[in-house]
Amino acid sequence: MNRLAGKVVIITGAAMGQGAAEAKMFAQEGARIVATDMQEVKLQEVVQEITNAGGKAIAVKHDVASDADWQNVVEKAVQAFGKVDVLVNNAGVSTDKKLDQFELEHWNKVLNINLTGCVLGMKYVVPEMKKVGGGSIIHISSIAGLVALNYTNAYTASKGALRALAKASAVELAHDNIRVNSVHPGIIVTPMIQKALDQGAQQMFEMGTPLPRLGKPEDIAYGVLFLASDESSFVTGTEIVIDGGWTAR
């Protein structure tokens, strides 16, 4: 307990899945949470659960692809809790379009949310982190940023670029004691992949995962917790793969 005592954490995409698991776990560890998402009702439910358990959290409606929304989120974080110590860029969308079927609008949407949104987040949190002498930025990438997955071209491009972005910004921000890392989940049972599971992909996913189960949101949250805490004070510019062995094959 209290691994994040005193820290203020912004978590995007916190209304469900991995983001919700991170928000709840971090609050239990003493963090004050700024939970953001476009899904206001579900987001409020997550924040209510945290506050009912004695934690501190606020909810902010947030389009991560919007510069103005990012500015608003960081301003609200500082107004509510005085600072920003940690940013978890968790919000993301997936895609299953083949190369000869996708439309430019679809491509731009995926890149804007999965990649540009993370850049905008850094733009606004870095000045606040500098004020407090450092911080931790965690980009939630994917195994798709490391290995090929079928028909996920825009998603794979965004997640691979996010891995590279983490490395470049880690070097740039190291002298400010701001650490930047990426986390690469494997097949995690969340609403994002539920459609594929419903369509019969579970057996394929299980066959690709050496450990005898698919991942849970909490499996990712524990890895992100380590990167958010001072336990990882000498960890920057790297990737943590949490995939049950998928990429080890």
Q: Tell me, yes or no, whether 247 lies in a domain.
A: no
What is the rounded distance in angstroms from the CA atom of residue 49 to the CA atom of residue 163?
Answer: 32
Q: What is the mean pLDDT of the chain?
A: 94
Backbone angles phi, psi at 52, to 5 degrees: -65, -30
Q: Tell me, yes or no, whether 246 lies in a domain.
A: no
> Which residues on neighbouring strands pair with residue 242, listed in sequence order?
185
Pairing of strands 32-37, 8-12: parallel
Pull the structure tokens for residue 224.
Answer: 């992100």
Pull the structure tokens for residue 143.
Answer: 């195994």
Catalytic positions are 155
**What's 92's domain CATH number?**
3.40.50.720
Banded pLDDT at 87 (limits 50, 70, 90) = very high
Confidence at residue 75, expressed as pLDDT on a 0 to 100 scale: 98
Banded pLDDT at 192 (limits 50, 70, 90) = confident
Q: Tell me, yes or no, whether 248 lies in a domain.
A: no
Q: Tell me, yes or no, whether 104 lies in a domain.
A: yes
Q: Tell me, yes or no, whether 133 lies in a domain.
A: yes
Query: Is residue 120 predicted with pLDDT exceeding 90?
Result: yes
Banded pLDDT at 86 (limits 50, 70, 90) = very high
Q: Tell me, yes or no, whether 204 lies in a domain.
A: yes
Q: Which range (44-53, 92-101, 195-204) has the least confidence? A: 195-204
Banded pLDDT at 54 (limits 50, 70, 90) = very high
Question: pLDDT tens digits, residue range 89-105?
Answer: 999 998 777 888 888 99
Q: Tell me, yes or no, whether 28 lies in a domain.
A: yes
Which residues neighbour 234 within 8 Å (Cβ) at sequence distance 6 or greater?
Answer: none
Q: Tell me, yes or no, whether 1 lies in a domain.
A: no
Banded pLDDT at 204 (limits 50, 70, 90) = confident
| Per-residue burial over 173-183, b = 16 or more CB atoms within 10 Å of its CB, e = otherwise | beeeebbbbbb
Structural domains in the chain (count): 1
Domain enclosing residue 24, as ranges: 8-241
Confidence at residue 103, expressed as pLDDT on a 0 to 100 scale: 86
